Amino acid sequence: MALTLLQAAQASSSTLRQGIVEHIVETSPMLARLPFEEAPSLRYEVALQKSLPQSGFRALNANYQATNSTYDRATIHLKPLGGEVRIDRLLADVPDVNNQQLYATELRARLRSASLAYKRAFIKGNSANPAEFDGLQTWFDQGVLTEVVDFAAAGATIISQPASTVIAKMHEAIQRCHTIPDLILANRTIIGQLSALALAGAANIAFAQYFEMSKMDIGNINGQSRMVSVGSMFGIPVIAMDTDETGAEVLPFTEASPDGSNNACASIYFVCLGDSYVHGIQQSAQGPRVFEYVTEAGHKAIAVDWAAAVAVEHPRAVVRMRGIKAA
């Protein structure tokens, strides 16, 4: 069964592993919610069903017609992700509190950077780069995922549209999912537009009943509450993907509009999570590893190492809404 990183860490007796996971998931509520499957072989097989076998009624003494399902099959290769901190081994042995704190701070920074890199690849990763796995955007570009809702042919801002139109489009995207999506992923500007529409006056009172800014508890290793600010559409968390490890937006306004007239649009992703829908893959059920070694140059190194990828198990596990502009 797929477990979130926090759930797996809670089952571990290692305080180091628990601390690693705390720093990984603090960068995004999406990462805190995403379940992971273990793939020790560094590869994972998926088969998305394209069509069902034919079933039907038959006359007495007649035979059923034998037909088979058709599938899109793929092998997903996990990719190493991480970084390392190096310090001269003589300095590492000096009982200097400042050195030790700097070392710990740098390690935490590597963990946060690795989680931001995974968050980017979750959406934009492309295995055409040997160092990356395919993300959701690539699965759509390859035609494996096909459920797309066009918000506006030439692109439009959410705030410029009637509340009834936005409700209808959001509802259409949710209905196209195989089950009620667990997360809606967008950039912070789009979430701001949704919030502005809800506050735009008496004409949008109905929209305000469906969208609001709220809090989501992503928890921590000790089971205590840790609240983060998210949107909520039809009761589904709307999470800002924000920036990656380089500071670039994960969901920028650089996509082509549905009619191809401009390149100033962004998408929203409606995602169903779970073993049969969308989940992460990692080499070890315990998640990212941290290990120490001494380099040939005489440096003591601590490395963060996480072999991971993302899998989509159903063709309607994700719906993409495209054609949304910033202004």
pLDDT at residue 45 in the model: 93
Tokens matching residue 185: 């992923």
Parallel/antiparallel/unpaired status of strands 318-325 and 148-150: parallel
pLDDT (mean) for 156-174: 95
Binning pLDDT at 50, 70 and 90, where does residue 98 land? low
6 close to 220: Cβ distance less than 8 angstroms: yes
**The predicted structure's pLDDT at residue 99:** 58
d(CA 9, CA 285): 9
Q: What is the pLDDT of residues 275-306, one digit of tens each?
A: 999 999 999 887 888 778 888 777 778 788 89
Query: Of 186, 153, 151, 190, which Cα lies nearest the Cα of 168?
Result: 151
The pLDDT value recorded for residue 271 is 98
DSSP per-residue string spanning 204-261: GHHHHTTEEEEEEE---TTS---EEEEEEETTEEEEE--B-TTS-BSS-S-BPPTTSS
Q: Which of 279, 303, 302 lies closest to 39, judged by CA?
A: 279
> For residue 291, which of 50, 127, 82 has the smallest C-alpha distance?
82
Answer yes or no: are the C-beta atoms of 54 and 65 closer than 8 Å.
Answer: yes
pLDDT exceeds 60 at position 97: no
Domain ranges of the chain: 1-55+67-327
What does residue 107 show for φ and ψ, rounded to 5 degrees?
Answer: -65, -45
Find how far residue 279's CA is from the centre of its chain: 9
Residue 255 has what pLDDT?
97
pLDDT confidence bin for 125, thresholds 50/70/90: very high
- Tokens 């034998």 correspond to 66
Average pLDDT on 105-117 reads 86
Report whether pLDDT(94) > 70. no
pLDDT at 56 over 70: yes
Is residue 176's pLDDT more than 90?
A: yes
Position 58 scores a pLDDT of: 86
If you ran DSSP here, which 8-state letter would residue 202 be given? G
95 vs 115: CA distance, rounded Å: 31
CATH class of the domain at 1-55+67-327: alpha beta
